[in-house]
Amino acid sequence: MPELIEVESYRQAADRVVGRTVRAVVAPDAWFLKGGATPSVVTAAVERRTVVGTGRRGKLMWLDLDDGVQLGLRFGMTGRIVVDGFGPIDALEYGPSRQDPAWDRFGLEFVRGGRLVLSDPRRLGGVELDPDLSRLGPEASTVTRKELTVALGSSSAPLKAALLDQSRLAGVGNLIADETLWRAGMDPARPAGGLDADDVAALARTLRSTVRLLTRRGGSHTGDLQEQRHRSGTCPRCGEPLERRTVGGRTTYSCPAEQG
């Protein structure tokens, strides 16, 4: 499942097309276009335009075009990017290990050759023009104590649910959330608004350091908790059986002895 670490690798791969001019838009799945866009609308906005840059916030990335238009790419749970036949990630955790051209939902072909393709087996991602960045919270990899305080507010929602809410905090998915809360020793189900100032500061630090560590290791799935995310899993620190439950609508693993 692509979280901010994986999407950043997609953005870096997309840097290869900066300076190229779009020859054709390939949009075989009109449902995959969001925000009222249609294949003809996207084609008119993108064809013959030059890619001048790339950007990312959280799990959203985009291409900047020379007319000021941004082409936003979202990847859902199984979306991958492939540039000139190269994908920075061959397979995603919990996604299919094989590739199928039928999963290619959107693509750009360039004047002097080469392609950028968004492949998504489960069709949970999407493509849109000029994505509204104001709907996203602050970037999780650099979030400050002050920003996280505002994001959590006085919410009575479970802490994990608040971390997964992209309008509060951009980029955290299920794996980073569980790993961060385990490292911070915080119960995923505690009310988000119940953290005191010291708790929020500690959580912000742990979130930033966890993202840095998992990025160095190579992905959101490389956390210490990951190998124990199964029904008989035990805490990597204390050896107690992990608790498996649903928090914020997502399967959650935590240590009841250390995350009380």
Which positions are catalytic?
Answer: 2-3, 59, 250
Per the CB < 8 A criterion, the answer to whether 199 and 145 are in contact is no
Q: For helices 4-14 and 197-217, what crossing angle results, to 10°?
A: 50
Q: What is the distance, to the nearest Å, from the Cα of residue 159 to the centroid of all Cα atoms in its chain?
A: 18
Rounded to whole angstroms, the Cα distance separating 61 from 13 reads 11
Q: Which DSSP string do the residues of 55-116 spell out, in sequence order?
A: EEETTEEEEEETTS-EEEEE-TTT-EEEETTB-S-SS-TTS-SS--GGGEEEEEEETTS-EE
Which alpha helices (H) appear in the chain, and where do they start and end?
A: 4-14, 39-46, 145-152, 159-164, 174-184, 197-217
Cβ proximity of 18 and 51 under 8 Å: yes
d(CA 217, CA 77): 20
* Max Cα–Cα distance, the chain, nearest Å: 59
